[in-house]
Amino acid sequence: MKRVLAVFVIAVLFFGALGVWFTRNQSSVVQAETERQAVPIRRGDIVSSVSATGNLEAEEEIELSFEMTGIVEEVFVKRGQAVKAGDPLAKLDTTSLELAVAQAEVSLEQAKIELAQVQDDVDSDDLASARAQLASAQAQYDALLAGSSEDEITVAAADLRKAEVTLQDAQGAYDRVAYKGGIGASAESMALQDATIDHATALGNYNIAIAGADDEELKAAEAEIVSAQATLNNLLQGSSDEEIALAESQVKAAQLSLDSAMRDLEEATLYTPVDSTVTAVNIQKGERTTEGDAGNIAIVLTDLDPLHIDVEIDEIDVPQIGVGQPAVVTVDALPDSSLSGVVSEIAPAPVSVDDGIVSYEVAVTLNEQNTKARPGMTANVDIETERRAGVLLIPSAFIQVDETSGQTYVEKPGSDGGTVRAAVTLGDRSGQLVEVVDGLQDGDLLLAPEIAATGNEEPGQNSTGRGMGVPPMGPMMGGHPPGGGGPPGGGGP
């Protein structure tokens, strides 16, 4: 009896344990079916974007060089140094240039003095002297024109007769002693010589007196009158317009020479045209520069703020892009940060045609400067082409497709605790979220797709092979990563 009781107890314990195991196993199956994740549908923003890759580029790069030959006297900057507009960068020796400026200043001052003299009124002493010269020239001409008077001829004749008598007397005295030795040094010889000269002079004056002035003398006298009259007229009228214009032109020419010399002196120093960063220094103190050498770039300046990216966009996507559209820029070398930008330019003509694919260059300028960003770094650009707010969004992992009809649907909790299919029409995709155009309403609950328990599928797959992963619902409440394209399975029937 005890043995039967023991067997009975063992049997009861065995079947009791079996019952507990079965009950627990059934409970876990029911729980797996009834506790599928249910999430409410939400409204949010959906963003369409176009993505491309390029390289960061400086907004402006300036190559500076000296426009003259000279010796570098000083270099004021070094590579990597930030400079402000107007800062000196480098300077040539200016000794000869400063001398040229000084000489040009002297020439300009002299030209100004000459102009002032031309513009001044005539001096009274100069005017009196000119009048006297004119009167003298006129008197001389009148005398020549009138010829000698009778009295002048009588006097000339008397002088000639007197000279003849004196010459005869001297000749007689000489003849009386001519036989003596050394006659050439005697007083009689000297007196004869003087009498001969006086007679010749008296004869010439007599001939002039009786002959009058010839044409050449009259023409010379007339020329003296004309010259004296022109001098007087110039003084009376002041400087002519031509003389004043000439003097003014000389002042202008001297000013231009001074300006040129000063410009050469100024160009002997390189200055910073804009706020920028020195990215190359190719000269050093004591080096000789070469005028007109295209490769003689002394200093290179780069404007690093803002940087921009030039990307090539396919012709299909270009119509969606407009100047002013926002963009998100991520730099491969700076994976922990992203930068905002804006479309600043769209090329009017294609930049490349490769295998029939036409591309246009689009410039995206950064709104902010990251001090670690450098020109040349690879950058990925997402240009926001459209943003629609307040649309119904669901995780793409909740979407299923009927294998027979091809209908796109989601599952909702039923009133009896089961599940209900809801056919949906889908719109655009934004990252892991998909727009629902028709088939759902605000507040609807969705069930994550059922996970099969065969144990043979890959994690996150059901028996049909569709992805079952459920992303967090946080993105539905705010911004979304840029993306494009439609959802899987297309729209409704």
* Cα separation, 386 vs 139, whole angstroms: 107
Whole-number CA gyration radius for the chain: 59
Percentage of residues of the chain with pLDDT beyond 70 = 78
Residue with tokens 């010889």: 189
Q: Residue 378: which residues within 8 A CB-CB, separation 6 or more?
A: 53, 54, 55, 331, 332, 333
Shared domain check, 472 and 374: yes
| CATH number for position 437 | 2.40.30.170
Are 83 and 275 in contact by the 8 Å Cβ rule? The answer is yes
Decide: helix, strand or coil at residue 372.
Answer: coil
Are 413 and 447 in contact by the 8 Å Cβ rule? The answer is yes
| Span 410-421, pLDDT tens digits | 999 988 878 899
* Cα separation, 106 vs 108, whole angstroms: 5
- The pLDDT, as a whole number, for residue 135 is 87
Shared domain check, 403 and 281: no
Q: Is the pLDDT of residue 444 over 60?
A: yes
Shared domain check, 355 and 289: no
Shared domain check, 255 and 358: no
- The pLDDT, as a whole number, for residue 270 is 92
| Span 315-336, pLDDT tens digits | 999 999 999 999 999 999 988 8
* Cα separation, 163 vs 160, whole angstroms: 5
- The pLDDT, as a whole number, for residue 249 is 93
Give domain status of residue 206, yes or no.
Answer: no
Give domain status of residue 190, yes or no.
Answer: no
| Span 46-100, pLDDT tens digits | 888 899 999 998 878 888 988 888 899 999 999 888 899 999 999 999 999 999 9
**Mean pLDDT calculated for residue range 128-141:** 82
Give domain status of residue 13, yes or no.
Answer: no
Domain of 114, in residue numbers:
102-121+242-265
Shared domain check, 280 and 307: no
Shared domain check, 467 and 415: yes
Are 259 and 164 in contact by the 8 Å Cβ rule? The answer is no
Shared domain check, 388 and 292: no
Give domain status of residue 129, yes or no.
Answer: no
| pTM of this structure | 0.46
Decide: helix, strand or coil at residue 83.
Answer: strand
The verdict on whether omega for the bond into residue 306 sits within 30 degrees of 0, i.e. cis, is yes
Task: Output the average pLDDT for the chain.
Answer: 77
The per-residue DSSP string of 134-195 comes to HHHHHHHHHHHHH---HHHHHHHHHHHHHHHHHHHHHHHHHHHTTTSTTGGGSHHHHHHHHH
**Mean pLDDT calculated for residue range 463-490:** 37
347: number of Cβ within 10 Å: 15
Residue with tokens 């899987």: 488
Give domain status of residue 149, yes or no.
Answer: no
* Cα separation, 43 vs 205, whole angstroms: 137
Shared domain check, 342 and 290: no
The per-residue DSSP string of 199-266 comes to HHHHHHHHHHHHH---HHHHHHHHHHHHHHHHHHHHHHH-S-HHHHHHHHHHHHHHHHHHHHHHHHHH
* Cα separation, 401 vs 490, whole angstroms: 10
Percentage of residues of the chain with pLDDT beyond 90 = 29
| Span 19-59, pLDDT tens digits | 433 344 433 433 444 467 788 888 888 888 899 999 998 87
Better-predicted residue by pLDDT, 253 or 145: 253
Query: Domain count of the chain?
Result: 3
pLDDT band at 144 (very low <50, low <70, confident <90, very high): low
Give domain status of residue 5, yes or no.
Answer: no
**Mean pLDDT calculated for residue range 169-181:** 81
Q: Is the pLDDT of residue 362 over 90?
A: yes
| CATH number for position 76 | 2.40.50.100
Shared domain check, 421 and 282: no
Shared domain check, 378 and 247: no
- Return the H-helix or E-strand segment holding 340: strand 334-346
Q: Is the pLDDT of residue 261 over 50?
A: yes
Give domain status of residue 154, yes or no.
Answer: no
Shared domain check, 438 and 329: yes
- The pLDDT, as a whole number, for residue 451 is 58
Q: Is the pLDDT of residue 235 over 50?
A: yes
* Cα separation, 366 vs 342, whole angstroms: 7
* Cα separation, 419 vs 351, whole angstroms: 55
Shared domain check, 455 and 343: yes
pLDDT band at 292 (very low <50, low <70, confident <90, very high): low
